[in-house]
Chains A and B, each alone.
Chain A
Amino acid sequence: MASLDDLKKRIASVKSTQKITKAMKMVAAAKLRRAQESAENGRPYSEKMKNVILNLSNGISDKENAPKLLSGTGNDKVHLCVVMTSDRGLCGGFNSNIIKKAKSYFSKILSEGKELKIITVGSKGNDQLKRMYGDKIIENISFKESKNANYFDAEKVGKIVIDKFKDSEFDICTIFYNQFKNVITQIPQAQQIVPLNNKDTEDKASEESYEFEPDEDEILANLLPKNISTQIFKAMLENSASEQGSRMSAMDNATRNAGEMVDKLTIQYNRSRQAAITKELIEIISGAESL
């Protein structure tokens, strides 16, 4: 049994841990509000972009010669996966959920005998993936310096993806990120961005006919790379909201657990203090009786 002094020290240390987790929860809550706001503000842009591309790809006359970013290279041998995680830990299952999703996808691809290339965004994902898939990681990008997700960073990632596509280094590109549903639930997502997957939206395309200036092909060629950056930016916004939400609930749990632990330790401390007093009393009484 731990001595009184040890117990006292442990209670103090748990209490100070609790203070830290509480503070982290507050910070995460404040950041969450901001991240959520910017995720919502960013939605119109990506929605509009999606609509325009949908209208364009319906209007395109020559499907055979459509830009490769839209129709694909016709192969599916080389898969590029962009795994987007955070740069900081202590956010519950946030990173490991993405990694889990990504890993199951990786093993599926590898078992089909296809080639795999990985780009990691955020240092946590890189840490976890380099043990198993170290030789597959071709690039690691981290935005530790930028405070919030910004479009400039997304454009950088988008540019890397597009350059690699132009050099025909891959056929299919998928991004992995957490979609923010609410503070407790974040859903890991795998979204294919190259070639553009229009299947689920095809039937509700508008029948409106557009005038194009210059022609469809040229607009599409200009637009598709932008769309990739936009999709990545959307993923980054969702991710940062998810990260804060996940951290908030993780820290909330930690704070509660620390509270329970303090209660338990305090009871134990009081019990052993009382036991010590009783023991001393018995000793004094039996000492007096024997006289």
Chain B
Amino acid sequence: MSEEFKIEIVNPEKSFLVKEDILEVVVPAFEGEMGILKDHISIISFLKPGIIKISSKSGDENYYVEDGIVEFKNNNLSILTSTIFNVVDLDKSKLEDLIEKAEEEANQTEISDQFQYLADQKVQVLRSIN
């Protein structure tokens, strides 16, 4: 029996990625990183800023996301996100832009704790890519 399942990443503009030969996905869920293999129980969770690691038969890929929702059901993994970048496509200048934006958010004074945490997380993750 094959150990593969299907992944679909959509953002509001389009279907971002559809792949059928996925072996494992690690998503930055809100309460910590979560690895998903085939036949995982049906789950809904949401994401914090971080890296989605996808390992498939055709190679490994990393994506940076800022937010999103994960739904896993019948060996279909759907990820809805408004901001997603392939880490390979993030060159230096783009990365710096994103860091700058995230730092600006983190340095706002009148924001809620949760928002502050998310913004800090963004900066941290982006730095680690660098």
Residues on A lying within 8 angstroms of B by beta carbon are 38, 41-42, 44-46, 48-49, 51-52, 55-56, 150-151, 154-155, 208-214, 219, 222-223, 226, 230, 233
Contact = CB atoms under 8 A, between A and B. Distances in A.
Given A45-B80, A49-B80, A52-B80, A210 B42 contact: yes
- 3 cross-chain pairs, A with B, having the tightest CB-CB distances, nearest first: A41-B14, A151-B12, A211-B43
B127 interface: no
Given A211-B43, A212-B43, A45 B69 contact: no
29 contacts: A38-B13, A41-B13, A42-B12, A42-B13, A42-B14, A44-B10, A45-B12, A51-B71, A52-B69, A52-B71, A52-B80, A55-B44, A55-B71, A56-B44, A151-B12, A154-B12, A208-B42, A208-B73, A210-B44, A210-B73, A211-B44, A212-B43, A212-B44, A213-B29, A213-B43, A213-B44, A219-B45, A223-B46, A233-B12
B31 A213 contact: yes
Given A48-B78, A210-B44, A213-B45, 15 more contacts: A41-B13, A45-B12, A45-B80, A55-B71, A151-B13, A151-B82, A210-B42, A212-B45, A213-B29, A213-B34, A214-B30, A222-B46, A223-B46, A226-B69, A226-B82
Contacts of B44: 52, 55-56, 210-213, 219
B41 interface: yes
Residues of A contacting B: mostly? helix
Contacts of A52: 44, 69, 71, 80
Contacts of A51: 71
Interface string B25-49: 0000111001000000111111000
B15 interface: yes
Best-surrounded residue of B34, B41, B46, B78 (most CB of chain A within 10 A): B46
A211 B8 CA distance: 19
Contacts of B8: 44
Interface string B65-105: 00101010100001010100000000000000000000000
Interface residues of B, number: 24
Contacts of A55: 44, 71
B11 interface: yes
A214 to B, nearest CB: 6
Given A48-B80, A214-B30, A223-B69, A209 B14 contact: no
A48 B12 CA distance: 11
Contacts of A38: 13-14
B78 to A, nearest CB: 6
Nearest to A233: B12
A151 B66 CA distance: 14
Contacts of A41: 13-15
Nearest to A40: B14
A214 B34 CA distance: 12
A285 B126 CA distance: 97
A222 B46 CA distance: 8
Nearest to A154: B12
A212 B71 CA distance: 10
A135 to B, nearest CB: 31
Contacts of A233: 12
Nearest to B74: A208
Best-surrounded residue of B8, B15, B44, B45 (most CB of chain A within 10 A): B44
A185 B32 CA distance: 49
B115 to A, nearest CB: 12
A229 to B, nearest CB: 8
Contact of A45 (B11, B29, B31): B11
A20 B30 CA distance: 55
A152 to B, nearest CB: 9
Contacts of A46: 12
B39 to A, nearest CB: 13
